[in-house]
A and B are shown apart, each in its own frame.
Chain A
Amino acid sequence: MKILVVDDDLHIQRLYKEEFEDEGYEVVVASNGQEAIEMFEKEAPDIVTLDILLPDIDGIRILRQMKEKNPKIPIIMSTAYDYRDDFAVWASEAYIVKSSDLDELKAMIKNLLSK
């Protein structure tokens, strides 16, 4: 199973990659929107964790583009700020506020991939 981690914070990128690899997933990363779209096409991930606040394109637009390309791939919005009230995020399969405790995120990924 391949996870695409999109986050401009390199520490978080690394934390996610290591933690997910420990769980046995293959992990690819992207640091901005442009890269994220390219990786999504090239790597064909099974699931994506997507930050909303990115330096180039905002996460909502990336979400839309990914969904247009392949709506079957589940996307977890993982953000520093709670955007849960924003209608746009409803298009994603799940939503999580970033936390140093990754147990909830891991459970979410496992759950989505098993469907």
Chain B
Amino acid sequence: MDIRNAQKFTEMIFKNIRDGIVILDRDYRILDANESIEKWAKRPVADIINSDCRDVFHGEGQICPHCAAQQAFETGQISTVTQKNNKQDTAVYAELSAYPIKSESGEIRECVVFIQDITDRMLCHDEVLRLYDEVIQTKEYLESIIEHSADAIVTSDLNGIITSWNNGAERIYHFTKEDALGNFLPFVPEFLVDSERDNNRKIRDGEVLKRVETFRKKKDGAIISVSLTLSPIKNAGGEIIGISEISRDISEKKNVEKELVRRNQELSRLFFISSAMRGTLDLDRLLRMVLTAVTMGDGLGFNRAILFLVDDEKHSLRGAMGVGPASYEEAFHVWERLSNEKKTLPDIMEEIDVGLLRKDSFFDKLSQSIEIPLSTETSLAKAVNEQKRFNIDDVGKEPLSDAVLIQQLGTRAFAAVPLISRNRVIGVLWVDNYFNNRAITEEDMHFLTAFSNHVASAIENARLFERVKLAEQELENIFESISDMVYFVTEDYVIKNINQAVSKRLKKSPNEIIGKKCHEIFHGIHEPWAACPHRKSVEMREAFVQEVEDPFLGGTFIMSCSPIIDISGRFMGTVNILSDITELKNLRERVIKTDRMAALGEVAARVAHEIRNPLVSLGGFARRLEKRLNGGLKEYADIIGKEVERLETILNEILSFVKETRVRKENVSAQKLMEEVVSLSRSEIDDREIALIEDFGEPVELYVDPNRVKDALLNVVRNAIQAVEHAGTISLKIYRKNKTCVIEIGDSGPGITEEDLPFIFDPFYTTKKQGTGLGLTITHRIIEEHDGRIEVESRGGKGSVFRLVIPIKEA
């Protein structure tokens, strides 16, 4: 490009460039300026040429080209300044660049100043700055909000590790920032950790959980109700990198709500509870109702409750029933389910037997193991003894705290109110808030007291009813197990109820007896029996006791009839007791007989002495005479001897019958006894030419009084000999049968007639010309003494068989 063209080009730029250009000399005189300078100078270019720049651009708010030039002149370098022109309505920014122009000699005589409008640029920059400031401010504001929020605002990473923790969180949960940061959600109760992880998963999927009501744990372990909002935190890329959790302590709100519910429903609830309770007399069910009402959120809302009842016998308080969760986890589940199912107290009462707070829970069993002696100086004992109520907010500070409750239940604070029915303390209702640590308020106490007054009488009633039921059961048992016949009969002799003894004795089922007329059942007659004390009792309305011999029932009875009169004085019928005294009567008769015998025995000993001695001399000398005499006189002497012998036999038999004898048992074989009996009878058997058939078999060992049994056998054998009289047979057989020894004595005599058979063992009964009639009686008695029995088989003309059956002593 040649110079001319270059100059033209420069001029063109100079004229058309949007930047203003001024050329100044060292005196700041304007040597030249382009048109664009007018925007800055606010004057035509021609006016400012040769003017002093300091005059053209002066005053506040004006740009200052000379200022830029001055620097360039002084430094010889390009200088750039940014200036703001405030004079116009809107601020204008200019960037001034001064280029020093050197002469050929190297002096700087002139300077070109370019003035560029950078307002737009500057405005943009300002805006950014302003925005930046604003952001800073907002951030501070937000941070301040976060910091000072009453809500706990907490952020965590996706794993639940705390990344921020505000003052609110510190205030609500008592964990400091230091405690919380870098740790896993410290305020989540253990029992909620799993469900919290579920929540985290939902947030990670982009969900926002708003106003969830749940529980949080304070640093001291106390559980509080909170309302929770969980939202994801996203980075610039929209990726979820954390979770924010805003929680608000709503315990207070809940409490207020509860209070409201309480106040509003107090009346209706009390009415409901008491009417529900009046509806049941089952003590167990009632106690469960009471405790459920005490522990349900919808009821009194305590965490745990125990009913203690006074044991008058042991003078102690005894845990009758307890309701409450065994652990935090169980507590949470129960509460959660109840709140989910939205069950009201009436619903729960309805399902009391199948409900959540079932019987025999761990806590129930624990409660029942607690016993507090009333002699102790403890709150529960005092609640009973002094009818006082207790609200102990710190067991550690209260000397009356029951140690057993602290040890067994771990309670830290509790309340106890006496259950008073008819001015008597029947028990104590104990409650605590073990799981949520809610303080027990005066309001609670008020309601608890009102409640306990209501339930006390219901419990007392149920307890009385239970006692009555128990007594009834006992009576029923006694009634059934009594061995006497007991039965109730109405006024018109209809049997209303009987015990087992009646149906056993009558060998009829209760159905066949109850509802029938008593005289038909007991006496087999169609009209009341005239001699019956029962009839007298019905007619006279008085109790009668009488001994009755009833041929229909077959026995002797003591019959006691007592009228049943109800409270209103109405005659309901009679209760009759029939005691079978047949055995007793027999025994009594036997005792009388024995007494008589013993007395007789005394006399007998005397008589024996007085009679036997003369008989012995008489008989003895008659024998001596007989030996020395001959012919007729010899015969007389013989007759005297024989008659004396007969008298002696009678005497012996009578004496042995009346005499009280002691049994002296020893081991002896039945065969040996029989052999001795045979040898004693041998001469007579031979004399009468009787054939004796012995079949003794294996020796059978007996444990008996040998003399007595020998006597018994001898009597039977003698009878057999006398029955056979002459030339018949007697068979003797001994054998073992089951656990007895049978000694059989058979004869070929005339036998015993059917009429005689029932009487053969009766004393003084005899068919023989000679004899006392005591032989078989004695035999019978001896065998009875040995717990044996005698069987007789006999038919007229066919002989007799006597079987003496004696039990064998067990080895």
A interface vs B, CB < 8 Å?
9, 11-12, 15, 18-19, 53, 80-82, 84-85, 97-102
8 Å CB contact of A9 from B613, B645, B648, B652: B613
A18 to B627, CA, bound (A): 13
8 Å CB contact of B613 from A12, A18, A84, A102: A12
Known: A81-B655, A82-B659, A84-B707. Contact between A98 and B605, CB under 8 A? no
Binary flags per residue of B599-626, CB closer than 8 Å to A gives 1, else 0: 0000011001100111111111111100
* Residue B661, interface by CB 8 Å: yes
Chain A residues positioned under 8 Å from B623 (CB to CB) = 100-102
Q: Are B644 and A81 within 8 A (Cβ)? A: no
8 Å CB contact of A15 from B621, B641, B652: B621
A98 to B611, CA, bound (A): 11
Q: Are A98 and B616 within 8 A (Cβ)? A: yes
How near does chain A come to B149, taking the closest CB pair, in angstroms? 112
How near does chain B come to A12, taking the closest CB pair, in angstroms? 6
Closest Cβ neighbor of B652 among chain A residues? A97
Q: Are A85 and B620 within 8 A (Cβ)? A: no
Kindly name the residue among B612, B621, B622, B641 whose own CB sees the greatest number of chain A CB atoms within 10 A: B612
Q: Are B616 and A100 within 8 A (Cβ)? A: yes
Binary flags per residue of B660-681, CB closer than 8 Å to A gives 1, else 0: 0110100000000000000000
How near does chain B come to A91, taking the closest CB pair, in angstroms? 15
| Number of B interface residues in the complex (CB < 8 A) | 29
Chain B residues positioned under 8 Å from A11 (CB to CB) = 613-614, 617, 621
Closest Cβ neighbor of B621 among chain A residues? A15
Binary flags per residue of B303-324, CB closer than 8 Å to A gives 1, else 0: 0000000000000000000000
Q: Are B617 and A15 within 8 A (Cβ)? A: yes
Closest Cβ neighbor of B620 among chain A residues? A15
B interface vs A, CB < 8 Å?
604-605, 608-609, 612-624, 641, 644-645, 648, 652, 655-656, 659, 661-662, 664, 707
A101 to B617, CA, bound (A): 10
How near does chain A come to B295, taking the closest CB pair, in angstroms? 81
Known: A80-B608, A81-B608, A82-B655. Contact between A100 and B618, CB under 8 A? yes
Q: Are A80 and B619 within 8 A (Cβ)? A: no
Known: A9-B613, A15-B617, A15-B621. Contact between A100 and B659, CB under 8 A? no
How near does chain A come to B313, taking the closest CB pair, in angstroms? 55
Closest Cβ neighbor of B604 among chain A residues? A81
Q: Are A80 and B613 within 8 A (Cβ)? A: yes
A12 to B615, CA, bound (A): 10
A9 to B612, CA, bound (A): 11
| Cross-chain pairs A/B with CB under 8 angstroms, 6 sampled | A9-B613, A11-B617, A12-B616, A80-B608, A80-B616, A81-B605
Q: Are B645 and A98 within 8 A (Cβ)? A: no
Closest Cβ neighbor of B614 among chain A residues? A11
A-B contact count (CB 8 A): 64
Given contacts A12-B616, A15-B620, 10 further A-B contacts (CB under 8 A): A9-B616, A12-B613, A15-B621, A19-B624, A82-B659, A85-B664, A98-B612, A100-B616, A100-B644, A100-B645
A9 to B609, CA, bound (A): 10
A111 to B618, CA, bound (A): 26
Kindly name the residue among A11, A53, A100 whose own CB sees the greatest number of chain B CB atoms within 10 A: A100
8 Å CB contact of B619 from A84, A97, A100: A100
Closest Cβ neighbor of B612 among chain A residues? A80
Chain A residues positioned under 8 Å from B612 (CB to CB) = 80-81, 97-98
Q: Are A100 and B622 within 8 A (Cβ)? A: yes
A82 to B694, CA, bound (A): 32
Closest Cβ neighbor of B627 among chain A residues? A22
How near does chain B come to A109, taking the closest CB pair, in angstroms? 15
Q: Are A85 and B662 within 8 A (Cβ)? A: yes
Chain A residues positioned under 8 Å from B656 (CB to CB) = 82
Q: Are A100 and B648 within 8 A (Cβ)? A: yes
A102 to B605, CA, bound (A): 21
Kindly name the residue among A11, A84, A97, A99 whose own CB sees the greatest number of chain B CB atoms within 10 A: A99
Q: Are A80 and B664 within 8 A (Cβ)? A: no
Kindly name the residue among B616, B619, B624 whose own CB sees the greatest number of chain A CB atoms within 10 A: B616
A84 to B613, CA, bound (A): 18
A18 to B617, CA, bound (A): 12
Closest Cβ neighbor of A7 among chain B residues? B613
Chain A residues positioned under 8 Å from B616 (CB to CB) = 9, 12, 15, 80, 98-100
Known: A85-B664, A97-B652, A100-B644. Contact between A80 and B620, CB under 8 A? no
Closest Cβ neighbor of A9 among chain B residues? B613
How near does chain A come to B711, taking the closest CB pair, in angstroms? 11
8 Å CB contact of A99 from B605, B648, B659, B707: B648
Q: Are A81 and B609 within 8 A (Cβ)? A: yes
How near does chain B come to A86, taking the closest CB pair, in angstroms? 9
8 Å CB contact of A101 from B608, B614, B619, B661: B619
Q: Are B707 and A101 within 8 A (Cβ)? A: no
A82 to B612, CA, bound (A): 11
Closest Cβ neighbor of A14 among chain B residues? B617
Closest Cβ neighbor of B649 among chain A residues? A99
Q: Are A19 and B620 within 8 A (Cβ)? A: yes
8 Å CB contact of A100 from B605, B615, B652: B615
How near does chain A come to B746, taking the closest CB pair, in angstroms? 29
Chain B residues positioned under 8 Å from A100 (CB to CB) = 615-620, 622-623, 641, 644-645, 648
Chain A residues positioned under 8 Å from B617 (CB to CB) = 9, 11-12, 15, 100
Known: A100-B645, A101-B645. Contact between A18 and B624, CB under 8 A? yes
How near does chain B come to A52, taking the closest CB pair, in angstroms? 9
Chain B residues positioned under 8 Å from A85 (CB to CB) = 661-662, 664
Chain B residues positioned under 8 Å from A102 (CB to CB) = 620, 623
Closest Cβ neighbor of B615 among chain A residues? A100
Q: Are B648 and A80 within 8 A (Cβ)? A: no
A25 to B689, CA, bound (A): 37
A100 to B647, CA, bound (A): 10
Chain A residues positioned under 8 Å from B644 (CB to CB) = 100
A12 to B613, CA, bound (A): 7
A101 to B612, CA, bound (A): 12
How near does chain A come to B598, taking the closest CB pair, in angstroms? 13
Chain B residues positioned under 8 Å from A98 (CB to CB) = 612-613, 616
A81 to B662, CA, bound (A): 15
A36 to B544, CA, bound (A): 68
Minimum-distance CB pairs A-B, first 9: A100-B619, A11-B617, A80-B612, A15-B620, A85-B662, A80-B609, A81-B608, A9-B613, A81-B605
How near does chain A come to B624, taking the closest CB pair, in angstroms? 7
Kindly name the residue among A9, A15, A80, A97 whose own CB sees the greatest number of chain B CB atoms within 10 A: A80
How near does chain B come to A115, taking the closest CB pair, in angstroms? 20
